[in-house]
Amino acid sequence: MTRKISVLIVDDVHPILMDKLNDYADVDYRPDCDKSEIDELVKGCNGLVIRSKMNLNAEFLNRNSHLDFIARAGSGMDNIDLVVAEANNIVCMNAPEGNRDAVGEHTVGMLLNLACNINKGHSEIGSGVWDREGNRGFEIGEKTVGIIGYGNTGSSVAKKLSGFGCRVLAYDKYKSGFGSDSVEEVDFDTLITESDIITFHIPLTQETEGWIAAPLFELFNHPKVVLNLSRGGIMNTEDVINALKTGMISHLGIDVLENEKLSMLSAEEGARVKWLNLQENVIMTPHVGGWTDASYKRISEVLGDKILSWIKQAKEPEFSGGYVG
C-alpha cells in the first residue's frame, strides 16, 4: 500500500503496538473514550483496535461497514459478530499467542492450589488452626488430566504439565493429528471417562454456550476436578453448584463467571457467587488468567505484527473479509 491507513484504538494497549504501526498508519489512540463516541471517532478509519470495551454486534458492524479490519488485543472473539463482519468484508484478527503462556501457568497454579489446599491452609492458620491431616492433598503426577480444546492455551497447558509426570489427554472437535509422546489425542467420551481433572480451553460460541452443565456431569463416572479458564458463558453456574453439592465435582477452579459485572448481579447470581466463595474446594480469580505484565506486551506485539502483515498484503482499493487467528 502506498498510503498510510487510519487506525482507531479505543482500549488500553501496550505502546509497542503504536511503535509497530506508526510508519504505516495514522494512529488515533483513545483508550479513555466512551462507547458512545466510537461511531463518530471511527468515521473514515480503516481499522479499529479493541479489547473488551464494547460488543461489536451486527448493528454496529453494519453501521460501520467501511472498516477494513478489526483487531482485538486479546484471545477470545466473542464480543465481535464474526459472521456479520465477514459479510461486510471486514477482516478480524486477535492475538491468542500473546497470552497462552500466562493462561497455561495460571491453570497449573490454580490446580496446584486446589491439590495442596493452599488457600484453605493459609486461611486456617490466620484463624489459629494448624491442621495437617485436614489439608492432606493429592499429587498431580498420579492423575489423568483431560484438556478440552487444544489450541494456543490448551497446548500451553499441556506443555506446562509435562514435568509433573501425569497422563495428559486432549480432545479438540476441530483439530486432529496433534498427539505426541506427552499428549494423547482422544475422543470426547474417552477424555470424560478416564480423566480425573478436566480443564476447558474453548471459545464461547453458540455451540459451547452453557456446555459445562448437568448433561456433562451426568457422564462423570467418578468425582472430578473441573477448571474453567475460557469464558464464563460456557458454564451453567447453578448446575456447577449442584455438582459440587453432590460430589461429582470434587474441586473447582474458575477464572471467569457468567456475569463478571459484580455490581450488576441479580440476587440469584450474587447468591451463587457468594456460595462458591465460601467453599474450601473452590478457587475463583477475576479473569486474570491471561493478564500478566509479559502478556500485556506480547499481545500488542503479536497483534501489531498481524496488522502489519495485513497492511503489506492488502491491495487497494479492495480488501477481502475473513478471520485471522
Tens-digit pLDDT profile for residues 163-197: 999 999 999 999 999 999 999 999 999 999 999 99
Quick one: pLDDT at residue 313? Answer: 87
Is 80 domain-assigned? yes
Residues 269, 154 share a domain: yes
Residues 165, 237 share a domain: yes
Question: Do 13 and 73 meet the contact criterion of CB atoms below 8 Å apart?
Answer: yes
Question: What band does 321 get if pLDDT is binned at 50, 70 and 90?
Answer: low
Q: How many domains does the structure of the chain reveal?
A: 2
Question: What band does 325 get if pLDDT is binned at 50, 70 and 90?
Answer: low
Mean pLDDT to the nearest integer, 98-116: 98
- As a whole number of angstroms, the distance between CA 311 and CA 37 comes to 26
User: Residue 319 pLDDT more than 50?
Assistant: no
Is 113 domain-assigned? yes
Q: Which amino acid is at 95?
A: A
3-state helix, strand, coil in the chain (%, to 5): 40, 20, 40
Tens-digit pLDDT profile for residues 90-99: 999 999 999 9
Q: Residue 161's closest CA among 196, 121, 207?
A: 196
User: Residue 288 pLDDT more than 70?
Assistant: yes
Residues 238, 311 share a domain: no
Residues 172, 131 share a domain: yes
Residue 128, Ramachandran bin (φ over 0: left; ψ between -120 and 50: alpha; else beta):
left
Question: Do 267 and 297 meet the contact criterion of CB atoms below 8 Å apart?
Answer: no
User: Residue 324 pLDDT more than 90?
Assistant: no
Q: Which three cell numbers stand for residue 34?
A: 466512551
Is 108 domain-assigned? yes
Residues 263, 141 share a domain: yes
Residues 240, 122 share a domain: yes
- As a whole number of angstroms, the distance between CA 259 and CA 266 comes to 9
Is 289 domain-assigned? no
Q: If you compute the radius of gyration of the chain from its CA atoms, what whole number of angstroms results?
A: 22
User: Residue 315 pLDDT more than 80?
Assistant: no
At residue 188's C-alpha, the angle toward residues 190 and 281, to 5°, is: 80
Residues 304, 278 share a domain: no
User: Residue 84 pLDDT more than 50?
Assistant: yes
Task: Look at 171-175, 198-202, 255-259, 313-317 and tell me which has the smallest mean pLDDT.
Answer: 313-317
Going by C-beta distance under 8 Å and a sequence separation of 6 or more, which residues neighbour residue 296? 14
Tens-digit pLDDT profile for residues 56-79: 999 999 999 999 999 999 999 999
CB-neighbour burial class of residue 320 (10 A; exposed 0-12, middle 13-18, buried 19+): exposed
Residues 239, 114 share a domain: yes
Q: Which amino acid is at 58?
A: A
E-strand stretches of the chain: 5-9, 25-29, 47-50, 69-72, 91-93, 144-148, 167-171, 184-185, 197-200, 224-228, 249-254, 282-284, 322-324
Is 178 domain-assigned? yes
Mean pLDDT to the nearest integer, 232-242: 98
Phi then psi for residue 195, to 5 deg, are -85, 145
Is 74 domain-assigned? yes
Question: What band does 4 get if pLDDT is binned at 50, 70 and 90?
Answer: confident
Residues 227, 123 share a domain: yes
Residue 234: give the domain boundaries.
99-284
Residues 75, 121 share a domain: no
Question: What band does 314 get if pLDDT is binned at 50, 70 and 90?
Answer: confident
205 DSSP β-pair partners: none
Quick one: pLDDT at residue 322? Answer: 58
- As a whole number of angstroms, the distance between CA 234 and CA 142 comes to 28
Mean pLDDT to the nearest integer, 237-255: 98
Question: Do 199 and 145 meet the contact criterion of CB atoms below 8 Å apart?
Answer: yes
Q: Which amino acid is at 300?
A: S
Question: What band does 32 get if pLDDT is binned at 50, 70 and 90?
Answer: very high
Residues 236, 194 share a domain: yes
Is 138 domain-assigned? yes
User: Residue 46 pLDDT more than 70?
Assistant: yes
Quick one: pLDDT at residue 304? Answer: 97
Mean pLDDT, the chain, whole residue set? 94
Mean pLDDT to the nearest integer, 264-278: 97
User: Residue 213 pLDDT more than 90?
Assistant: yes
Q: In CATH, what number is assigned to the domain containing residue 305?
A: 3.40.50.720
Residues 114, 84 share a domain: no
